[in-house]
Amino acid sequence: DVKVTQSSRYLVKRTGEKVFLECVQDMDHENMFWYRQDPGLGLRLIYFSYDVKMKEKGDIPEGYSVSREKKERFSLILESASTNQTSMYLCASSQETQYFGPGTRLLVL
Amino acid sequence: GNSVTQMEGPVTLSEEAFLTINCTYTATGYPSLFWYVQYPGEGLQLLLKATKADDKGSNKGFEATYRKETTSFHLEKGSVQVSDSAVYFCALAYSSASKIIFGSGTRLSIRP
């Protein structure tokens, strides 16, 4: 079975802090994705990567950056967290079909 | 642009009832279509998929048929269980490297 893991299930940070969300997949997938999920807005794509050191902006990249130094790991970085970045963050990886991690629920105070 | 529209929830049914969650899409060409399910407190899981017209995806008693003529991919189950309570997302994508376009999700609650 494909396994996508995320470093934290719940995270509480303060406004202005730098936040790292880590995602690791164990199936040698080339493509990895970061989404955020908000009530009434569904899932929105933040960034995706189709190879090591490659990244593409999604629909809502503002306030975020990403890093992919190794194939299995895709990190989402909030350079200076703000309260409007309180959300559920979902990572996914794919070869033919996207598989999702369990999500990180981030609260920014 | 490409989009997915699914019926608004919440949908509440009694156990063993028949389930239909409607999904229609707008897209050019021939995308693949998916249903994902999200159980409380968890990430999304792929429920079923179909990659071309007239394909039927099925899993865990759920079915959906890719209907290009009506641009639909409705989810059905003949007899729902309490454990089916979750949020269901219809989605489309053109390839594994492209982003998935999700519907807004339909919350399903099953009464014992």
Residue A19 zone, left/alpha/beta (φ > 0; ψ -120 to 50; rest)? beta
The helix, strand and coil proportions of chain B, stated in percent and rounded to the nearest 5, come to: 5, 50, 45
Contacts A32 to B, Cβ<8 Å: none
Q: Do A100 and B43 touch (CB under 8 A)?
A: yes
Q: Do B100 and A40 touch (CB under 8 A)?
A: no
Tell me how far apart the alpha carbons of residues A56 and A50 are, in angstroms, rounded to a whole number.
Answer: 8
Per-residue pLDDT at B95 exceeds 80: no
Q: What pLDDT is recorded for position B59?
A: 97
Q: Are A25 and A32 in contact (CB under 8 A)?
A: yes
Task: Name the pairing type of β-strands B11-14 and B106-111.
Answer: parallel
Per-residue pLDDT at B4 exceeds 90: yes
Per-residue pLDDT at A2 exceeds 90: no
Pick the residue from chain B with its C-alpha nearest to A89: B43
User: To the nearest whole angstrom, how far is the Cα of A82 from the nearest Cα of chain B?
Assistant: 23
Q: What pLDDT is recorded for position A86?
A: 98
Per-residue pLDDT at A1 exceeds 70: no
Per-residue pLDDT at A96 exceeds 80: no
User: To the nearest whole angstrom, how far is the Cα of B103 from the nearest Cα of chain A?
Assistant: 7
Per-residue pLDDT at A106 exceeds 90: yes
pLDDT in tens, B35-91: 999 998 888 999 999 999 999 999 999 999 999 999 999 999 999 999 999 999 999
**Best mutation site among A60, A87, A98 for testing chain B: the one with the most B CBs within 10 Å?**
A98
Contacts A101 to B, Cβ<8 Å: 43
